[in-house]
Structure 1
Amino acid sequence: MALELVLGFITILINVPMTSYFQSVVPVGYQGRVFALLSFISGFSIPLGVTYSGFLASKIGADWAYIMNNICVILIVLLVFSRQSVNERKKI
């Protein structure tokens, strides 16, 4: 449950800034296309993720597969945030 809380919090930290970033960088005429592409990629990725998770759960058990998936998401977010802070330091 603790990982779910952290994952939900991280999701909010990613979705809102990402949407704001795209709105500020992408020209208005292309925003619909960019968000449609993101939605398409997300929709396409869900069955792949479910298939991967099902295969992983059959090999190591559902609990461990769920824990491993959440830890991977948290590590990816930490990696992205650490790279972003390094890039901000280079600008200074």
Structure 2
Amino acid sequence: MEEIIIALGDSIFAGYLADGKSFIYHLKKDFNIENKAVPGESTGQLKDFLLDFKDEGYSHALIHVGINDFLQLRGFVLVKKNIREIIKILKEKN
């Protein structure tokens, strides 16, 4: 069975203002990656997305999130808490 990686996060992964040619775009040349990144995504939004997310057999997750939280002046403590919860949710979903 082929491994499928899911990419989650913000515009850095989505390729915003780079004609979609993000870091993930280049990784897709060598890996099977589904890019679910959304420009503007915050840690809270990603956490909410994952709570409702149905696992579709992904083997790994790549995550880039947090920058938008800081741009919106959310504090480090909240961002760190959300990232820890994101990791916990992903571990529970295997």
Give the greater-gyration-radius structure (CA).
Answer: 1
> Which has the larger share of helix?
1
